[in-house]
């Protein structure tokens, strides 16, 4: 069935890349980097979806990927068969597992009702195929327009009390929904040539009281949290849940980790879900045309407040700005400018041989099999060689243990004699940072270097000075059995 979740944000695409699905999704979906916003038929560039792209320049996946859930599920299903079922599956917003486990949902049901329609459409609205559009309607709220995969578009709008008065039983027929969609697009014309799917639904904003019960009852995705589709968070948050959970759960089942590792799934993702719901409570009201009480004294319209909320929250909503609290997994760094619990920056580096850069995430952090990564930023080896050699000897002990930990060294400069840099064998695979930009992005001095631990979900866990790498061994000893 068509419909449901459609839009993937940069961090979700990065995480799909980690499991080998990003390219397939991009080949199937529509890649959008542009958006327009209209009021009374004229562009209003200081509002609308265009603001969501602003914080995305920290990722090389600086776009939104629109792919209908029927197609995304089919791609995941094909991969599921190829990988012998190494996936996480949820049982939805009406979760049977949650009900049988007697896990309660906190939050509320709102008065808001929205319509979503997918299909082949024609409109007189300019730039209807560039990616995203918003039409600020005086009677249908902030109207959503999205270019989907293949020849389809999505339109979405709010059913306010004035509209619902026309339908005494509260339910619209398909013909009613199409007619309201056409009115919502005023002054532009809209023709729906083929209707693939439509829905009328009430907005709920709830999060489970816990995502982990009795060690192995785990909730994720819609089973763990439900909210509006206003900022397109559903499938994105589900992907974040899954990638946070899967390496912890599989490691526990294999006997690698101490219990606190799996317990961190609940603390990290429950906090993220609560932050999402807090944003959605404001966004859903504003999209529906209501101004929450805390903004009513601002003198701004609902559309203006919505634009501000989008600007303030999009770093989080895109997934790039999600940060997990300090914990046994996320230790306060003793080097670099990184924040523990935040996404590891993606940078361009080079390998020995081809004079061609590649991405750190793609080639190193997301290399299979998924594992922990220790990145040794060696800086200028003429200044750090003594510490580099000592680090290699310290890490030999770690490399001999049967733990899913990979090591890689990044040397500054366009190309260095690797043997000379180490005065012997290298520490893991060696890459080059020709202009020092990778070191700078991680906040590492070329004169002193640093070692950075990256979790299997490419989250920064810990960092220490190159002459204190015994701290890395101590970190892993507290995580692994």
Burial class (CB in 10 A: 0-12, 13-18, 19+), 91: middle
Query: Residue 3: is its pLDDT beyond 80?
Result: no
Handedness of CA 47, 49, 50, 55 (dihedral sign): positive
Q: What is the pLDDT of residues 368-411, one digit of tens each?
A: 888 999 999 999 999 999 999 999 999 998 888 889 999 999 99
Q: Pick from 298, 317, 336: which residue ends a domain?
A: 317
Q: What pLDDT band is residue 475 in, cutting at 50, 70 and 90?
A: very high
Give the domain range for residue 48.
Answer: 7-317
| Structural domain contains residue 332 | no
How far apart CA 363 and CA 105 sit, in angstroms, is: 40
What is the rounded average pLDDT for all residues in the chain? 94
| Structural domain contains residue 325 | no
User: Do 300 and 442 reside in the same domain of the chain?
Assistant: no
| Structural domain contains residue 163 | yes
User: Do 192 and 243 reside in the same domain of the chain?
Assistant: yes
Contact yes or no for 52/131 (Cβ under 8 A):
no
User: Do 163 and 255 reside in the same domain of the chain?
Assistant: yes
Contact yes or no for 409/431 (Cβ under 8 A):
yes
User: Do 171 and 227 reside in the same domain of the chain?
Assistant: yes
Query: Residue 84: is its pLDDT beyond 60?
Result: no
Amino acid 80: pLDDT: 74
User: Do 242 and 388 reside in the same domain of the chain?
Assistant: no
Q: Please compute the mean of the pLDDT values over residues 236-265 and round it to a whole number.
A: 96
Q: What pLDDT band is residue 92 in, cutting at 50, 70 and 90?
A: confident
User: Do 169 and 74 reside in the same domain of the chain?
Assistant: yes
User: Do 158 and 33 reside in the same domain of the chain?
Assistant: yes
Closest CA relative to residue 310, chosen from 131, 111, 52: 52
* Tokens 């270097």 -> residue: 449
User: Do 157 and 43 reside in the same domain of the chain?
Assistant: yes
Q: What is the pLDDT of residues 357-376, one digit of tens each?
A: 999 999 999 988 889 999 99
Burial class (CB in 10 A: 0-12, 13-18, 19+), 313: buried
Please tell me what DSSP assigns to residue 233. -
Closest CA relative to residue 211, chosen from 168, 245, 237, 234: 245
Q: What is the pLDDT of residues 262-315, one digit of tens each?
A: 999 999 999 999 999 999 999 999 999 999 999 999 999 999 999 999 999 999
The tokens describing 401, both together, are 């243990």
| Structural domain contains residue 387 | yes
| Structural domain contains residue 354 | yes
| Structural domain contains residue 174 | yes
Supply the CATH number for residue 39's domain. 3.50.50.60
Q: What pLDDT band is residue 437 in, cutting at 50, 70 and 90?
A: very high
Contact yes or no for 22/13 (Cβ under 8 A):
yes
Q: What pLDDT band is residue 87 in, cutting at 50, 70 and 90?
A: low
**CA distances for 1 relative to 4, 10, 72, 161, 175, angstroms:** 9, 25, 11, 30, 20
| Structural domain contains residue 101 | yes
Cα radius of gyration (the chain): 24
Q: Pick from 297, 317, 337: which residue ends a domain?
A: 317
| Structural domain contains residue 153 | yes
Q: Pick from 269, 294, 317: which residue ends a domain?
A: 317
Percent of residues, the chain, with pLDDT higher than 90 = 87
Percent of residues, the chain, with pLDDT higher than 70 = 98
User: Do 371 and 286 reside in the same domain of the chain?
Assistant: no
How far apart CA 36 and CA 126 sit, in angstroms, is: 9
Least confident of 186-190, 369-373, 444-448: 369-373
Total tally of structural domains belonging to the chain: 2
User: Do 76 and 123 reside in the same domain of the chain?
Assistant: yes
Q: What pLDDT band is residue 215 in, cutting at 50, 70 and 90?
A: confident
User: Do 61 and 116 reside in the same domain of the chain?
Assistant: yes
pTM: 0.94
Contact yes or no for 155/121 (Cβ under 8 A):
yes
User: Do 312 and 390 reside in the same domain of the chain?
Assistant: no
Supply the CATH number for residue 390's domain. 3.40.30.20
């Amino acid at each position: 069935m068509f419909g449901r979740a459609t839009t993937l944000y940069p961090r979700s695409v990065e995480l799909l890349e980690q499991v080998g699905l990003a390219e397939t999704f991009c080949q199937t979906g529509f890649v959008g980097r542009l958006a327009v916003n209209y009021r009374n038929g004229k562009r209003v560039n200081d509002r609308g979806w265009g603001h969501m792209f602003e914080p995305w320049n920290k990722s090389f996946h600086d776009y939104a990927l629109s792919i209908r859930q029927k197609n995304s599920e089919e791609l995941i299903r094909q991969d599921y068969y190829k990988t012998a079922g190494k996936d996480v599956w949820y049982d939805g917003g009406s979760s049977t597992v949650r009900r049988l486990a007697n896990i309660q949902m906190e939050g509320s049901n709102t008065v808001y009702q929205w319509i979503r329609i997918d299909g082949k459409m024609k409109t007189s609205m300019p730039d209807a195929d560039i990616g995203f559009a918003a039409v600020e309607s005086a009677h249908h709220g902030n109207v959503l327009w999205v270019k989907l995969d293949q020849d389809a578009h999505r339109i979405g709008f709010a059913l306010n009390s004035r509209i619902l008065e026309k339908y005494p039983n509260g339910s619209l027929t398909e013909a009613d929904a199409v007619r309201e969609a056409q009115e919502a697009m005023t002054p532009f014309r809209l023709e729906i040539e083929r209707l693939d799917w439509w829905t009328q639904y009430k907005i709920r904003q709830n999060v489970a009281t816990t995502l982990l019960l009795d060690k192995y009852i785990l909730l994720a995705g819609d089973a763990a949290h439900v909210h509006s589709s206003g900022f397109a968070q559903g499938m994105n948050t589900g992907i974040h849940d899954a990638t946070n959970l899967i390496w912890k759960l599989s490691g526990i089942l294999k006997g690698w980790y101490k219990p606190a590792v799996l317990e961190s799934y609940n603390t990290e993702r429950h906090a993220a879900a609560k932050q999402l719901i807090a944003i959605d409570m404001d966004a859903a009201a504003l999209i529906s045309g209501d101004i929450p009480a805390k903004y009513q004294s601002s003198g701004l319209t609902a559309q203006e407040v919505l634009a501000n909320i989008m600007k303030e929250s999009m770093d989080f909503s895109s997934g790039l700005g999600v940060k997990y609290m300090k914990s046994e997994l996320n230790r306060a760094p003793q080097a670099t400018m990184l924040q523990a619990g935040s996404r590891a920056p993606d940078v361009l580096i080079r390998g020995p041989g081809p004079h061609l850069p590649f991405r750190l995430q793609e080639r190193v952090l997301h290399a299979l099999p998924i594992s922990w990564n220790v990145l040794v930023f060696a800086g200028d080896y003429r200044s750090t060689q003594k510490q580099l050699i000592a680090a290699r000897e310290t890490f030999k002990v770690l490399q001999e243990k049967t733990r899913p930990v990979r090591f890689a060294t990044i040397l500054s400069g366009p190309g260095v004699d690797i043997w000379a840099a180490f005065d012997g064998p290298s520490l893991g695979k060696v890459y080059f940072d020709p202009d020092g930009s990778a070191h700078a992005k991680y906040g590492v001095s070329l004169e002193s270097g640093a070692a950075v631990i990256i979790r299997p979900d490419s989250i920064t866990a810990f960092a220490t000075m190159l002459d204190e790498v015994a701290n890395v061994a101590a970190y892993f000893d507290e995580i692994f059995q």
